[in-house]
Amino acid sequence: MLALLVPTPFDRPGWVFEEKYDGIRILAYKEGTEVTLLSRNDLDRTATFTDIAAAGSELRPLRALDAPARGGES
C-alpha cells in the first residue's frame, strides 16, 4: 500500500495499525522449500534478504506472505 497524504490521521474503532518508518514491503512466495522474495515493484529481493528467505523455507506450506523487511540493501 502506498502512503497517501490526508488532512487528519487515520482513526477508526476496531482498527489497529503501526506506522512504518524504515524497511521495505516484501512478498514471500514459497513453492516446496524454494522461497522467492519480491518487492512491491516486482523486483526479486531474495539475494538481498537471504536470512529471510532461509527462514521462509522452514515455514509450513504457504502460497504468499506479506511482511515488512529491514536490513540488506534498500
Query: 38 has which bridge partners?
Result: 27, 44
Bigger pLDDT: 74 vs 4:
4
| pLDDT band (50, 70, 90) for residue 45 | very high
**74 pLDDT above the threshold of 60:** no
Q: What is the mean pLDDT of residues 1-10?
A: 78
Question: String of b and e for 1-24 (b: at least 16 CB within 10 Å)?
Answer: eeeeeeeeeeeeeeeeeeeeeeeb
pLDDT score for 21: 66
Rounded to whole angstroms, the Cα distance separating 74 from 49 reads 10
pLDDT in tens, 7-44: 987 788 888 777 666 678 888 888 888 899 998 889 99
